[in-house]
Every structure is written in C-alpha cells, then in structure tokens.
C-alpha cells in the first residue's frame, strides 16, 4: 500500500504479477488513490505491506474491524521513485524477502 497507488505499490504488484506462489494486489490509502484500499482487499490478504508508517496508521484507523490478526509490515520506502524504477524494484524485493521466506 501507498498513498495514491501510483508508483510504489503498483510496482510491487507488477513484481509479483506472474509469480508461481505469491500474489499481490496494490491499493492506496488516500481518497485520491487510483485504487483505494477496501475491506475486501484486506480480507483477501495474508500480509499487508505498506511503504510508510503513516500508511499503517491510516489503515489501523480506518479498517480496524477488518484487520483481525493481519500483519502490517512497514517497508520504509519513501515516495521518491517512478513506476518500475529499477532501484525501487530491487528495494522492494530486498525488503519483502525476509517475510516471504517464512512461507
């Protein structure tokens, strides 16, 4: 998740689009997001990755009833990359790897 679902989270979704085991969907927490986070998306997810602490805070505030025992992981990736930026791709892969290796 990111704010507007414009660069970072769509890049993460694209990385895992054709993966054999992991599936990702992206959404934003802002009212102006291209695709907005919903209860349906939260229920679909096993884990929720967000780019910044602010995103986690907003999700907890707006979707407390849907979170149950969902894990929200903050990747600490700032909004300074464009869609599919090679540096962003490597940063996302590196940041999520420890969490995905648990499965």
Q: Which whole-number Å values give the CA distances from 60 to 11, 20, 39, 55, 79, in the listed order?
A: 23, 30, 12, 9, 21
* pLDDT of residue 68 exceeding 90: no
Q: What is the pLDDT of residue 1?
A: 76
The per-residue pLDDT for 102 is 67
This prediction has a pTM of 0.91
Does the structure show a pLDDT above 60 at 103? no
pLDDT tier at 54, thresholds 50, 70, 90: very high
């Amino acid at each position: 998740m990111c704010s507007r679902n414009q660069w970072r989270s769509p890049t993460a979704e694209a990385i895992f689009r054709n993966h054999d085991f992991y599936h990702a969907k992206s959404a934003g927490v802002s009212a102006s997001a291209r695709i907005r986070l919903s209860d349906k998306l939260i229920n679909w997810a096993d884990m929720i990755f967000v780019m910044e602490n602010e995103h986690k805070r907003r999700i907890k505030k707006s979707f407390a009833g849907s979170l149950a025992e969902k894990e929200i992981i903050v990747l600490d990736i700032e909004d300074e990359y464009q869609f599919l930026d090679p540096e962003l791709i490597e940063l996302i892969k590196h940041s999520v790897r420890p969490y995905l290796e648990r499965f």
